């Protein structure tokens, strides 16, 4: 499974290969912000640890399998054969001045977790080959930006501007 991070540069999504890994207390993990957890609604750090993988020399993990346990905790494990992608999609949902609209996920796209780091939400997506996600930005009192399609071919994540429906 290839890993990607998608953030906006103005109104345009920018794709980066891999997910940033930090080491804290000798334990490498992707630190994606916090999640609202449990019945207490406590802000719980959302970290995806590496299980059976060494910390990448460049600080970005490019390929791994994303698995969860019975409690829903995620971890990165050695990659198996398969054509899925794991995408950390950063969207603005909580700002009164700027927001990101994400169309409902279609076939082949699943959200396996959400992280929160003001002002961004990070949607953790798995994408099957041939699947796509459509996003666009808008601000207070401004027109909607153009739609962009993030498409997973099975070997590459690409972004293209699309016509508004």
How do residues 41-82 score in pLDDT, each as one tens digit? 567 788 999 999 998 988 999 999 999 888 778 999 998 877
DSSP strand pairing (147-152 vs 157-162): antiparallel
Q: Find out whether 61 and 50 touch, Cβ atoms under 8 Å.
A: yes
Q: What is the pLDDT of residues 131-148, one digit of tens each?
A: 999 998 877 666 778 899
Q: Find out whether 123 and 91 touch, Cβ atoms under 8 Å.
A: yes
Of 71 and 96, more confident: 71
pLDDT at 96 (0 to 100):
62
Of 1 and 95, more confident: 1
Comparing 18-27, 84-93, 132-141, the range with the smallest average pLDDT is 132-141
Q: Could you tell me the maximum CA-CA distance found in the chain, to the nearest angstrom?
A: 49
Residue 40 has pLDDT above 90, yes or no: no
Q: Find out whether 49 and 77 touch, Cβ atoms under 8 Å.
A: no
3-state secondary structure of 58: coil
The three state secondary structure string of 13-61 is EEEEECEECEEECCEEEEEEEEEEECCCCEEEEEEEEECCCCCCCCCEE
């Amino acid at each position: 499974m290839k890993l990607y991070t998608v953030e906006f540069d103005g109104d345009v999504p920018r794709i980066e290969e891999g997910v940033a890994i930090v080491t804290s207390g000798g334990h490498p993990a992707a630190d994606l912000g916090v999640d609202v957890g449990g019945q207490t609604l406590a802000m719980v750090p959302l970290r995806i640890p590496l299980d059976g993988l060494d910390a990448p020399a460049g600080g970005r993990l490019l390929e791994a399998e994303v698995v969860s346990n019975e409690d829903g905790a995620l971890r990165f494990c050695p990659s198996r054969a398969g054509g899925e992608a794991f995408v950390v999609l950063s969207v603005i949902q909580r700002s009164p001045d700027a927001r990101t609209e994400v169309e409902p996920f279609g076939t082949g796209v699943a959200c396996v977790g959400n992280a929160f780091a003001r002002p961004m939400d990070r949607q953790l997506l798995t994408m099957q080959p041939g699947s796509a996600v459509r996003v666009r930005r808008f601000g207070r009192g401004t027109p909607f930006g153009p739609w962009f399609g993030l498409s997973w071919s099975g070997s590459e994540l690409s972004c293209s501007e699309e016509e508004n429906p």
